[in-house]
Amino acid sequence: MTIVRDSFYINGEWVKASSPETLEVTSSGTGELYATIPVGTVEEANRAVEAAAGAFAAWSNTSPKERGEFLTRISEKLAERADEIALDIANEVGMPLMLAKGIQAGIPTMTFADNAKRAAEFTWEEEVGNSTLVREPVGVVAAITPWNYPLHQIANKVAASLAAGCTVVLKPSEVAPINAYLLADIIHEVGLPKGVFNMVTGLGPVVGEAIVAHPKTDMVSFTGSTRAGKRVMQIAAEMVKRVSLELGGKSANIILEDADIAKAVGDGVFKCYLNSGQTCSALTRMLVPRSRLAEVEDIAVATAAAFAPADPITGTSFLGPLVSATQQQRVRDYINKGIDEGARIICGGVTPPEGLEKGYYVTPTIFSDVTNDMTIAQEEIFGPVLSIIPYDTEDEAVAIANDSNYGLAGGVWASTDEKAFEVARKIRTGQVEINGGAFNVFAPFGGYKQSGIGRELGQYGFEEFLEVKAIQHG
């Protein structure tokens, strides 16, 4: 049964779309129609911003404790509906259901709960000499989010904004939007004051650009491609608006000579293939000692064999399909580009996985003997494609890792954490995991270079939505 949503959430109400035009959302596992959503107009986007602007004064003056209580109730409702959210995102994005509940549904629940606690406990004022420093919400936030971890990225922006005392207009990805509707349903159910949270679906060049350009928008928080991020920045610059950008990545995973190779390579393949490689911080470049290249290749191929793609709803594999036919073709084009440029393919390729003709599947692929000037080593593929790059010295490995327009994440494996930490300090990225360190939902997330500006999650993500005022005493 196709899900039909025909309204936007504006000023505390579900408002029917003015245009009969709709956008189709397909099920990634079958390619069949999953849902339809309305196409927002500039006028509807402007109406949402006006509602957020009208609600700002009252919401920003609501006590942090009360704001936190609203966020706690949202978190609780998200937890209650975790199965429904996971099933939706498994359909929309393709992450296997067994992973989607913990990651795609679980992390947003934690993010809302963390920001609830943060609002209540944050030090809003402090004395510095003859000044009182006051933290205040930045204002109306335009939040534009992607499809790969859709509710997680929404929560990063919406939870922190609301906790800080900002009001929000959300433009979720039109590729995976139903989870955003589920959140809006929850926000309506808990009784968040009118205008504090607003949502308009549609296309980025229309709705996205309208909410960025509106004179009553004070800040833009965008997650997506570097190309689109540059466009957001250009529009926001016209009015000198604050901009937070979380963009692409091409993260290097340095495996040192003395590391536990079997453990490092196995973990590295998983970190590349999670969510079918549709992860901006995926460890897609595996840097290995040239002397151990053959050993690494054998382990990597054996590990990849365990990632045979399967239906994300009924299957038991850690690997599902890609999000869309467009993304599927994009990944296949990159695989062909790797072959054309001389990289050696050791497993996978453009041939579809057997028995999975429907849906947007790509066979997990590994290239070896990749050089860092190749397209597959420099551009973000966003699919289950790993590039193994051999190096001769530790210094060369660090240089290769840093030879990228991106700087979002990375990894280092060594015989000791101390050695891995030493190398991690040399990598110019916003995050580095050492010896398989787990993702921390409370640590700042964001990048250097063209991976973005600003941070999300935890204290640093919360403070992105605050201004600092100094009040001098006589």
Catalytic residues: 246, 280
Residue of 422, 418, 371, 417 whose CA lies nearest to 394: 422
HEC secondary structure over the chain: CCEECCEEEECCEEEECCCCCEEEEECCCCCCEEEEEECCCHHHHHHHHHHHHHHHHHHHCCCHHHHHHHHHHHHHHHHHCHHHHHHHHHHHCCCCHHHHHHHHHHHHHHHHHHHHHHHHHCCCEEEECCEEEEEEECCEEEEECCCCCHHHHHHHHHHHHHHHCCEEEEECCCCCCHHHHHHHHHHHHHCCCCCCEEECCCCHHHHHHHHHHCCCCCEEEEECCHHHHHHHHHHHHCCCCEEEEECCCCCEEEECCCCCHHHHHHHHHHHHHHHHHCCCCCCCEEEEEHHHHHHHHHHHHHHHHCCCCCCCCCCCCCCCCCCCHHHHHHHHHHHHHHHHCCCEEEECCCCCCCCCCCCCCCCCEEEECCCCCCHHHHCCCCCCEEEEEEECCHHHHHHHHHCCCEECCEEEECCCHHHHHHHHCCCCCCCCEECCCCCCCCCCECCEECCEECCECHHHHHHCCEEEEEEECC
